[in-house]
Amino acid sequence: MPRTSNVTGRSQAGATSDHSAAKPAILPRASQDHAGAFWDILTFRMLFTVVCTGAGYHFRPFGLTSQFGAIAGFLFALSVILFELRLRRASLRRLIGAAIGSIMGILGAYLISLIFAHTTIPESTRSFFSLAIFLVMTYIGLVLGANKGDMLNLQAFGGVFGSEKNNRHSVKLLDTSVIIDGRVADIADALFLDGAIIIPHFVLRELQLVADSADPLKRQRGRRGLEVLARIQKMTHLDVQIADDDFAHIADVDMKLIELAKRYDAKVVTNDFNLNKVATLQGIEIMNVNLLANALKPVVLPGEIMRVFILREGKEYNQGVAYLDDGTMVVVDGARKMINKTIDISVTSVHQTTAGKMIFGRYDERGEQTPRIAPAPGAEPAPGTRPAEGGGERPPRPLYPESGRS
């Protein structure tokens, strides 16, 4: 069911007061400053367009008429603005690399043109080759310099360049589902999540809506999400920020997250299957907590011995079902009579499904009922053994504890 952000304009002070006091470094961007900067840039762009259009109308380049000269000036201004919008997304490393590469290309083209000047090639042909080499060398230097610019270590220069950090793919957006789930805090606490963590303001609104729900279960989940955010904010290795960006024309929160991820070139941390599929189709990198949990489940090989607690009856005849601590289902043949008991089973196969792993095993009732040799009267049992049901002893079996194999 798509989630919407149709929430009244309630203050977020009650929802975020606790964790804002815990970490004052989290300062949301002022929307007024952002709006003012937008109008300033728009004014400069309009002024630049008017000047270029007027220059084209007055000077009439290429022998054009005044009207076509104005159109040429307008197109020139439009191309410069589009180029400027593209440059705004580039990092300082790429800009420096592109500048150095273009300068080297121009220098190489100039040296090659000096060689052409001492040849007997006709003037028109020499001019053509010189211009072609100039354009090719400049273009190659610009492109290669921009691509290799990420390899520059600007921190070695100190000063202004020292503050430039390589934040590529280090920005993560948290979805409401992963905040309520709570496991993301444990992942971050284990240092598997670092960099800048952005929590969109519309996600906070949705989280507050869940925390204020009349349903006790939803209210509990929402409050747990707020506690998870407070815990994440206290982690010193994370740079947690509140993003005020919003998309008024988009009602679905998932689509807002995708647009915000495109704006910040960020990854989305979620456990929502539908959001995972939609974002992947649009080229957004996803960090799925469920996939991480499945990858960290212990590897079980056929023939291993496991100790499990039979919880209920299986679908097939004489089957029992058990669950590990991580939620992995274990289907045991011959264990229907052992419900509510802890038994040792032998793993027969492991199947990988879309929901996770399923382990199939077999319970050997005859092995459990094999009579053991009784110890001598008065003798103490050997260390590591335990009495059998018939009063005898049996050697220890390899165990598979719920928390992991020993």
Where do the structural domains in the chain lie, given as residue ranges?
13-25+166-294, 31-161, 305-394
The contacts of residue 362 (CB under 8 Å, 6+ apart) are 332, 333, 334, 345, 346, 348
CA separation for the pair 115, 138 (Å, rounded): 18
Higher pLDDT: 59 or 156? It is 59
Tell me the helices (H) and strands (E) count for the chain, helix number first: 14, 12
Range list of β-strands (E), 143-294: 171-174, 195-200, 238-243, 267-270, 286-288
CA separation for the pair 85, 104 (Å, rounded): 25
Query: Which pLDDT score, from 0 to 100, does residue 226 have?
Result: 92
CA separation for the pair 207, 220 (Å, rounded): 11
Please give the angle made by the CA atoms of 349, 291 and 359, to the nearest 5 degrees. 15
Query: Which pLDDT score, from 0 to 100, does residue 153 have?
Result: 61
Query: Which pLDDT score, from 0 to 100, does residue 406 have?
Result: 36
User: What digits encode the pLDDT tens for the residues 386-403?
Assistant: 444 444 444 444 444 444
User: What digits encode the pLDDT tens for the residues 349-379?
Assistant: 988 776 677 899 998 776 555 444 445 555 5
* Domain at 13-25+166-294: CATH architecture: 3-Layer(aba) Sandwich (3.40)
Structure token digits, residue 197: 């963590």
> CA quadruple 129, 131, 132, 138: dihedral positive or negative?
positive
Query: Which pLDDT score, from 0 to 100, does residue 291 have?
Result: 83
* Domain at 305-394: CATH architecture: Beta Barrel (2.40)
CB crowding 187-224: b at 16 or more within 10 Å, else e: bbeeeebebbbbbbbbbbbbbbbbbeeeeeeeeebbbb
3-state secondary structure of 108: helix
